[in-house]
């Protein structure tokens, strides 16, 4: 482990800062303590906001080329240190090392993408209706951005927010999840090495998340909040941000339907479900959450899925070949148990798993539930665990209506070869993202985001930078 990347202090105004109090970061696999980190207060957050605000004055005046080059330098350092960053990520979050490496590269892809997008923040020069004036359209950085990120993708969610912010000319104050602050601090270390001026990036790890959130949403210099996490917390932040009329980007909870129609390629559908469901042990906002299988395929689908599920390897994320790793904490384990209990008490059947591993205390067994009803809690909540909830269906109208019967609207998936049905699904599924014949749809060139209570704004793609820009109209006579 590259000790230079294992940082335990806050990063404020280009300085590594200790705090009066600290909190422990543990490895979810064995609950062993891996770091003792500065526990920042609202005062630290305000110091960081002041630093970011001061830095904004000069940073916002840098050229797009300068910002692009710094983003490319940061990208290169992340790639050079990808193995070390992946190890930091696995020991604090638990996911398999290969998945952690994939996350590092995925996060880096947003940095490279927005290094390029920085060079295309173009305005407009338009003729006025009376032909006498000139209409100028300018795009300017919004200002200081408050960023609050989750534990499930502790590096990529930072990259996906900070990259467009920097490209636009914004400065940032980041509050990472207290379960996983080390990846954020390692990113700050590499940003410092890349040459970002002091105050441009600030990281305030803290267990006082509500206090830090209030500091970020109440300070007039903070012009935008970008959050990924639960819908419940997202709603609180949206309400708090109203006080200063801050812009918000919200990537919230999901409840993805995964629909296998009667003409689906069964093996492709099983493989797509395995990829979507068991990545990060089911702890992603785009995981297949409700698995609708046409009644004519139901038994064969269960048989083929069961063969794949039984082959999954459980263990320590640092061990080569391990696929299923611990859930982030006891709260996550308790939630999965609660949802399975309510489902089985309501008639669902456990075909595989259903318990904590007998060998690894924090790992939940890959679980398959049959005869799930669309009204059970497990079909209405984001499971955030390695649990397949199978729901048989018979009719297109019925399954599209059931798929849309949720307040979430992030990702959705369907397997069918019928072109007319595909057109109907893309039009009628009420989600920000629709995957057809695939279980994996996230990449830096596509607009990631949801509708309804899954949030607002888009991350990545040519659309992702607009959330960090204000449009100014100048009328020149
Ligand atoms: N859409 C997604 O990608 C994610 C969805 N979720 C969903 O949320 C559920 C709970 O997960 P959990 O980790 O508790 O997610 P939370 O939404 O509670 O945490 C996400 C981030 O928000 C911070 N936070 C928590 N409360 C506040 C607050 N009042 N003001 C400001 N920031 C706050 C957390 O800090 P701290 O870590 O200190 O609590 C963390 O950094 C999961 O089971 C899952 O269903 C969770 C993570 C990601
Ligand atoms: O928050 C998440 O779960 C991630 O956004 C999922 S992905 O972008 O890695 O697919």
The string of DSSP letters for 100-150 reads HHHHHHHHHHHHHHHHHHGGG---EEEE-TTSSSEEEEEEEE--EEEEE--
- Span 464-473, pLDDT tens digits: 999 999 999 9
Question: E-strand spans in 142-246?
Answer: 144-148, 171-175, 201-203, 222-228
Give the whole-angstrom CA distance, residue 65 versus residue 432: 32
For residue 262, the model assigns a pLDDT of 98
* Listed residue (71, 105, 73, 69) closest to 86, CA to CA: 105
Asked if residues 186 and 7 have their Cβ atoms less than 8 Å apart, the reply is: yes
The finding on whether 288 has its CB within 6 A of some atom of ligand 2 is no
Ligand 2 atom 8: residue of nearest CA: 442
For residue 53, the model assigns a pLDDT of 98
Q: Which two tokens stand for residue 133?
A: 């004036």
Q: 249 pairs with which residues across the strands?
A: 226
Tell me the percentage of the chain whose pLDDT exceeds 90.
99
Instruction: Please give the average per-residue pLDDT across 149-156, as a whole number.
Output: 98
Ligand 1 atom 48: residue of nearest CA: 229
Ligand 1 centroid vs 43 CA: distance in angstroms?
A: 22
- Span 282-293, pLDDT tens digits: 999 999 999 999
Give the whole-angstrom CA distance, residue 254 versus residue 411: 7
Band of residue 140 on the pLDDT scale cut at 50, 70, 90: very high
Asked if residues 404 and 379 have their Cβ atoms less than 8 Å apart, the reply is: no
Give the whole-angstrom CA distance, residue 308 versus residue 90: 24
The finding on whether 178 has its CB within 6 A of some atom of ligand 1 is yes
Instruction: Please give the average per-residue pLDDT across 157-165, as a whole number.
Output: 98
- Span 361-382, pLDDT tens digits: 999 999 999 999 999 999 999 9
From 251, 365, 444, 459, active-site residue: 251
Q: Which ligand 1 atom is the nearest neighbour of the CA of 332?
A: 43
The predicted model scores a pTM of: 0.98
The finding on whether 238 has its CB within 6 A of some atom of ligand 1 is no
* Listed residue (246, 208, 251) closest to 230, CA to CA: 251
Tell me the percentage of the chain whose pLDDT exceeds 70.
100
pLDDT over 90 (residue 3): no
pLDDT over 80 (residue 214): yes
Q: Where are the alpha helices (DSSP H) in 60-96?
A: 64-80, 82-93
Q: Which ligand 2 atom is the nearest neighbour of the CA of 150?
A: 1
Ligand nearest to the CA of 253: 1
Give the whole-angstrom CA distance, residue 129 versus residue 381: 52
Ligand 2 atom 1: residue of nearest CA: 285
For residue 332, the model assigns a pLDDT of 98
- Span 180-201, pLDDT tens digits: 999 999 999 999 999 999 999 9
Element (H, E) at 237: helix 231-241
* Listed residue (417, 452, 466) closest to 294, CA to CA: 417
For residue 1, the model assigns a pLDDT of 74
The finding on whether 45 has its CB within 6 A of some atom of ligand 2 is no
ipTM, interface predicted TM-score of the complex: 0.96
Ligand 1 centroid vs 150 CA: distance in angstroms?
A: 6
- Mutation test residue for ligand 1: of 10, 25, 41, 150, the one with most atoms within 8 Å of CB: 150
Ligand 2 atom 10: residue of nearest CA: 442
How many CA atoms, within 13 angstroms, populate the side-chain half-sphere of residue 207? 10
**Domains, the chain, with CATH or none:** 3-252+452-476 (3.40.605.10), 256-436 (3.40.309.10)
Give the whole-angstrom CA distance, residue 49 versus residue 219: 8
Instruction: Please give the average per-residue pLDDT across 402-429, as a whole number.
Output: 98
The finding on whether 108 has its CB within 6 A of some atom of ligand 2 is no
Instruction: Please give the average per-residue pLDDT across 312-335, as a whole number.
Output: 98
Order of strands, sheet of 134-141, starting from the edge strand that comes earlier in the sequence = 124-127, 134-141, 469-476
The finding on whether 252 has its CB within 6 A of some atom of ligand 1 is yes
Q: Which ligand 2 atom is the nearest neighbour of the CA of 411?
A: 10
pLDDT over 90 (residue 124): yes
Tokens 């490209």 label which residue? Answer: 167
For residue 448, the model assigns a pLDDT of 98
The finding on whether 384 has its CB within 6 A of some atom of ligand 1 is yes
| Mean of the per-residue pLDDT values of the chain | 98
Give the whole-angstrom CA distance, residue 369 versus residue 387: 7
Taking the CA atoms of 207, 210, 213 and 214 in sequence, report the sign of the dihedral they define: negative
Ligand 2 centroid vs 474 CA: distance in angstroms?
A: 39
For 100, list phi and psi in degrees, rounded to 5: -65, -40
The finding on whether 152 has its CB within 6 A of some atom of ligand 2 is yes
Give the whole-angstrom CA distance, residue 67 versus residue 61: 10
Asked if residues 89 and 107 have their Cβ atoms less than 8 Å apart, the reply is: no
Active site residue 251: yes
Band of residue 394 on the pLDDT scale cut at 50, 70, 90: very high
Helices (H) and strands (E) in the chain, counts: 14, 20
Instruction: Please give the average per-residue pLDDT across 77-91, as a whole number.
Output: 98
Q: What is the DSSP letter of 287?
A: S
Asked if residues 437 and 415 have their Cβ atoms less than 8 Å apart, the reply is: yes
């Amino acid at each position: 482990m590259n000790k230079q990347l294992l940082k335990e202090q806050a990063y404020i105004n280009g300085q590594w800062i200790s705090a009066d109090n600290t909190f422990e970061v543990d490895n979810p696999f064995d609950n062993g303590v891996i770091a003792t980190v500065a526990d920042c207060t609202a005062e630290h957050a305000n110091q960081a906001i002041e630093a970011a605000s001061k830095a904004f004055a000069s940073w916002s005046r840098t050229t797009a080329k300068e910002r692009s080059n710094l983003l490319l330098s940061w990208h290169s350092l992340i790639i050079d240190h990808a193995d070390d960053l992946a190890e930091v990520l696995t020991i604090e979050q638990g996911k398999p090392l290969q998945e952690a490496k994939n996350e590092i590269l995925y996060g880096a892809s947003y940095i490279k993408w927005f290094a390029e997008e920085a060079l295309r923040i173009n305005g407009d020069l338009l003729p006025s209706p009376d032909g006498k004036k000139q209409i100028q359209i300018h795009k300017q950085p919004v200002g200081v951005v408050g960023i609050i990120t989750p534990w499930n993708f502790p590096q990529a969610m930072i990259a996906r927010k900070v990259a467009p912010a920097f490209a636009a000319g914004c400065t940032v104050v980041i509050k990472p999840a207290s379960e996983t602050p080390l990846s954020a601090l390692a990113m700050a270390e590499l940003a410092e090495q890349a040459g970002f001026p002091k105050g441009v990036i600030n990281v305030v790890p803290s267990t006082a998340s509500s206090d830090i959130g209030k500091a970020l949403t109440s300070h007039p210099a903070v012009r935008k909040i970008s959050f990924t996490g639960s819908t419940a917390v997202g709603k609180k932040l949206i309400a708090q941000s109203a006080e200063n009329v801050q812009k918000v980007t919200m990537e919230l909870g999901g409840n993805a339907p995964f629909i296998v129609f009667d003409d689906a390629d069964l093996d492709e559908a099983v493989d797509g479900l395995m990829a979507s469901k068991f990545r990060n042990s089911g702890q992603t906002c785009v995981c297949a959450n409700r698995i609708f299988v046409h009644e004519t395929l139901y038994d064969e689908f269960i048989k083929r899925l069961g063969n794949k599920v039984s082959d999954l390897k459980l263990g320590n994320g640092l061990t080569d070949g391990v696929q299923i790793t611990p859930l982030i904490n006891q709260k996550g384990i308790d939630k999965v148990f609660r949802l399975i209990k309510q489902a089985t008490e309501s008639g669902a059947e456990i075909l595989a798993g259903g318990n904590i591993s007998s060998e690894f205390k924090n790992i939940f067994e890959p679980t398959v539930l049959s005869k799930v009803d669309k009204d059970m809690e497990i079909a209405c909540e984001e499971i955030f665990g390695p649990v397949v909830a199978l729901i048989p269906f018979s009719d297109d109208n019925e399954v599209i209506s059931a798929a849309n019967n949720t307040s979430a609207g992030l990702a959705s998936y369907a397997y069918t070869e019928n072109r007319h049905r595909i057109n109907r699904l893309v039009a009628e599924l009420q989600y920000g993202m629709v995957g057809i014949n695939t279980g994996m749809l996230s990449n830096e060139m596509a607009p990631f985001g949801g509708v309804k209570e899954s949030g607002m704004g888009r991350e990545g793609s040519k659309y992702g930078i607009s959330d960090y820009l204000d449009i100014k109209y100048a009328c020149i006579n």
